Every structure is written in structure tokens, then in C-alpha cells.
Structure 1
Amino acid sequence: HKENERRIRLLMREVNHRVKNQFSVIISMIRETSRLTSTPEAFLGQVRERIMALSESHDLLVNAEWRGATVGELIQAQLKAFAAQSRVSMAGPMVILQPNAVQYLGIAFHELATNSAKHGALSCSGGRVEIDWNVIPAGDGADTFRLVWHELDGPVLDAVRGRGFGVVVLERVAPQALSGSGRLEFHEQGVTWTLEAPLPFVQTSVADNAAL
């Protein structure tokens, strides 16, 4: 009985922390979106879509009792609204993301998928997306998580077009939240986004799960 109470207290503390973190993310989204939209209708639509994307990540965490989610689960959750599963391939080892990584990578995947559906590989019938991730081992134990979103067979993109909130998320917000770096490249067939971050800031630990 006491053990159950302890688990509930720990879980509520974790939920409280994550909800406060989500509030910060939402405020940031609203601020950046307001700067980059020209009409109230566009502002409302984009904020609604981004909050729904956060909600998808939140649902994953709730269903897992805030233990985290795998990379594949998160990608599938964020891309299901675009009905593009048949044109998206995923490959990588089993990595269970910690809650903070689920939230920020979820936002990143949403921005990538939205841009791709409007302007990139997922906007045309022959386009496709390859998502690969791996863990790069280091001799000193400081392993690196590396993920690449790579679009193929899409329309020619104009790099100038993509200087909105999505670029801010992909190059600054999401990578910095994971103490890593993000690089967004525009090429003839679509975009490539590369994220590198220290594995401890991405992957949940056995100790974290044991605590809950």
C-alpha cells in the first residue's frame, strides 16, 4: 500500500513537471506563430495543429505512465494524420525516448511532416521519406543519438520559403532542448534534417523507469 502511494506521488510529481514544461512550449509556439502569420485565421489554424501534435505526444506518455515512448511509436503517432505511412520508411535500433525528448521530437516530426505535405516529398505522389536513427558509440561512454529525416523524389524546394516556425523548431528549439544540434538542408528532392544529441538527454534510463 505504501509502495503504491509512493509511486503515485512520484508519478504526479513527474506529470506536474511535464505539464509545466508543455505550458512553456505552448507559449513559445504561440509567440513564434504570431510573429510569422499574417491573419488571425492562419494563426488560429497553425496553433491548433501544433497543440494537437503536442497532444499526440502527450497521449503516448500517458499510455506509458510517463516512462517514455520508442522512436518508431512517436513517428507513427505524429505522421498518422498525414496518411503517408506507405511512403515513409523507418530504420533504427530500439531507443526508448525520455518524456522531454518525446515532447520536443514530436514537435519536430510534426513540423517536418507538415512542411513535407505542403511543399516537400509528401506533397506529390512519387515522393517518399526515409527516417533513420542510430547510436554512435564513444570510447568515453558519451554515446551520441543521431537521427536523419531524408526526403526523396519530391519537388524542387526554395530554401528561402522555409524560414518560419518550423525552421526555428528544427534548428534551435528541439536540438537545444536535448543539448544537441540540428541541421536542416534543402536539396533538389526535398529536405534533410539531421539531429545529433548526447544519448543521456534522449534515451530514458533504467533508473528513471525503476523510480516510477
Structure 2
Amino acid sequence: MTGRGELIRLMRVEGGGEEDIFLNFVIQPIRDLQGQVTGLFIEGHDVTDLKRAEIALRRRELQLQLALDSAEMGVWEAVLVNGRIVSTTEDARASFLLGRPADQQPSFETFVSRVHPDDRQALSRSVEQAMNPLGEGHLDVEYRVLSGENRPERWIHARARFVDGKDAKRLVGTVRDITAIKDAESQYALLNGELQHRIKNTLAMVSAIASQTLEGEAVLEQRDTFNARLHTLAHAHDLLMGEAQEKGSIREVIETALAPHRTGAAQFDISGPDLPLSPKQTLSLALAIHELATNAAKYGALSLPSGKIVISWDQNANGSEAQAFALRWEEKNGPPVVPPTRSGFGSRLITRVLAADFKGQVTLDYVPVGLVCTLVSRFPVELGA
């Protein structure tokens, strides 16, 4: 009941198979000259669209809140004037993650004071890029929040979008705690470094044992060949583990394997997209390229100053699933090639191990003008086991 004696009531009418209808009634008494109620004036309005919009808004707000709770994200907003942040607001979770005391009003200055000094410059650059009219208007930055009382230092991932409204310009975004992820990355790097150290020590020990065991001029060439293969394997491990990578780069693998054989850059023509390789593919390709280059240095194109080797690869080379990946090694301008009379370790490595790791087939063609090695796989290289 209003002060004027009006009664306002919202009624929901079942739609009978359709959506419900919402009606808003204003009921006002009609009085005579003596003030006695002699009737009622009833005015009704259809407010279905308004109520449906309100219900949809509440539903979206609930969904958003559930998503934020599930991701453990906090929400914040910053108002900008003349490119400078003048005020900030944040929800309870954002305040907790950013380390703001409960009795402290949110402000950009107090927030920055809690950011680790080593991360403040990166944060400032990210904010400037987000506000750049020529940019995409997105902020995506990771930084550390300094520890407070009884609270450890934590890593924060902040994302936001620049909103240019009529009344003000704002940054609206989220924050989440990624400390556990950063700790895991740090632990992984530590373990990876220790593993790399142990592998190098093991390979060095194997090399020393081989040198002591394979003594004498009769096995000198075999010993050098063994050590060269061992060093190639070690370099391939460096590619996988030197920067805590799970995948190798095909270009890096090829370039590293060819490094000992480069007497001149003009001897190699290398082309192809920089595709990722699985760990097994990285090791087998490195050894295969090493074997091909060693053979070329002894008997093929690399044995002559005029010799040249063309290495190329491509993904979806012919646009069909029948050949998702292809790699080709072709020797030119070398001495006449004669097919070998027996199959050695190198050729078995290339035709069996390399083919298996790439789930494909390898062909060695000893054409007179130079050896041609072709690897064809029906699978993209990153799907290799």
C-alpha cells in the first residue's frame, strides 16, 4: 500500500503451454465527498518482457558467479582518466588474492605497492598496451604479490579488457592464484636439470668405457664412429631438456645434427616449416641426419667442395591424409653413387627406427647423381609416439 492508498501487485499468470505472463496491477480506491470508499480503480500493465529480462539477467549472473567460483577467480575494475588509473574496485576474492587488508580501501597505489618490485615494470607495460588505441585492448600479465602477515608470497595471473564507455574508460578483468602452477614449473625445471646432468654423466662414462675397451689402431675408426653417434644423441637430449621442453623443433634437430659437418653454409639448402617433434622423433631424426651426413662426408656430396645437400619437409604435402608429413634428403654434385653391398647400422636406423617413430616409410634411392632419402608419414609429426 502506498501513501496515497494505492496497492501495487505483481501477478504471474500461467501461460498454458507457453511461457508465463507477468501482469502488474495498480489498485486505487474511489472515494465519495465524505471520504468513504465507493469502488476500486484497477489498472493493469503487461510487464512480461521486463520480468523475463530480469530473470535472464539473474540467471546469467548466477552462471557467471558459479564459473568464477569454480575457477577461483576474483573480479576487479579500474577507472581511467587521461590514461591514468584514478580508482579501483574489487570483489572479496580479488581483495584476498591481491593481499589487501580488510580495513584498507582499494586504490591503484596501494595495489602497486604490494606487487613485487621485479614485476612492476612488466605490469606497467601490460597496462599501457591494453590502453593503446591501436592495440587489441587486452591485458594478460603474471606477477607476484608481496607476502603479508601470515601469508606467503603468491603468483597472480591477471586478465582484463579495456572498455571505452560514455562516462569513463575502464579496465574490467579477473585475477587468479597460479602459485601452485609456478611452484610445479620450478620443481620441474629443477628435476629436469638434475636429469640432464645425470644423462650427460652417463653418456660421458659410456664414452670413456668405449675408449678404454676399443683400444688399438684396428678399431680406431669404429671407436670414433661410436663416439660421434653418442655425441649426436647427447646434443639431441640437450634440445629436449636444455630449456625444459617436451617437444623438439625439427629445424633445431636438423641444424644441430649437421653442425659438425658444416664446412660451408652453401653446402646445405634447408627449408620447411618449424614443426614440433615428439621426444622419440627428436632422437631418431637427429641420429638419422647424423648417419646421412657422415655417409655423405665419406662417400657422397660432402666429400667434394662442389657437393650440395637439399633438405626439405612439409606438413600435408599433397593436401591429403595419405601423406600428412614428408621429409626429403637429396645429395647433388657429388661423386657417382654406388648402392652398398650390405646393410649397416646407419641404414637400418633410418629405414626401421626413423620410420617407426614417424609412423611412416623411409626409402633410400642410390641414384647415380646422389643419394635420395625420403620419409613419408600419414600422420602429422606432432602426433608421433
TM over 0.5: yes
Structure 2 residue runs of 5 or longer lacking an equivalent are 1-178, 207-216
How far apart are the structure 1 equivalents of 2:371 and 2:287? 17
Q: What is the aligned length?
A: 186
Matches within 5 A, 1:38-187: 39-84=218-263, 85-136=265-316, 144-161=324-341, 163-187=343-367
Letter in 1 for 2:238: D
RMSD: 3.1
Max radius of gyration: which structure?
Answer: 2
Structure 1 residue runs of 5 or longer lacking an equivalent are 28-37, 206-212
How far apart are the structure 2 equivalents of 1:44 and 1:70? 30
Could you tell me the percent identity over the aligned residues? 27
The offset of 1:7, in angstroms, is 3.6
TM-score (norm 2): 0.43
How far apart are the structure 2 equivalents of 1:137 and 1:164? 30
Q: 91-100 or 118-127, which moves further after superposition?
A: 91-100
More strand per residue: 2
Deviations 1:190-211 (A, max 9, x none): 11100112434x2279xxxxxx
Structure 2 counterpart SS, 1:159: coil
More helix per residue: 1
How far apart are the structure 1 equivalents of 2:357 and 2:247? 16
The offset of 1:39, in angstroms, is 4.4
2:161 is matched with none
Structure 1 counterpart SS, 2:337: coil
How far apart are the structure 1 equivalents of 2:349 and 2:309? 19
How far apart are the structure 1 equivalents of 2:305 and 2:229? 25
CA 1:134 to 1:140, structure 2 compared with 1: closer, same or farther past 3 Å? Answer: closer
Q: 4-13 or 83-92, which moves further after superposition?
A: 4-13
The offset of 1:81, in angstroms, is 0.5
Q: 128-137 or 117-126, which moves further after superposition?
A: 128-137
1:33 is matched with none
TM-score (norm 1): 0.75
CA 1:162 to 1:105, structure 2 compared with 1: closer, same or farther past 3 Å? Answer: farther
Letter in 2 for 1:2: A
Deviations 1:70-104 (A, max 9, x none): 22211111111112432100111221222221111
Structure 2 counterpart SS, 1:203: helix
The offset of 1:67, in angstroms, is 3.0
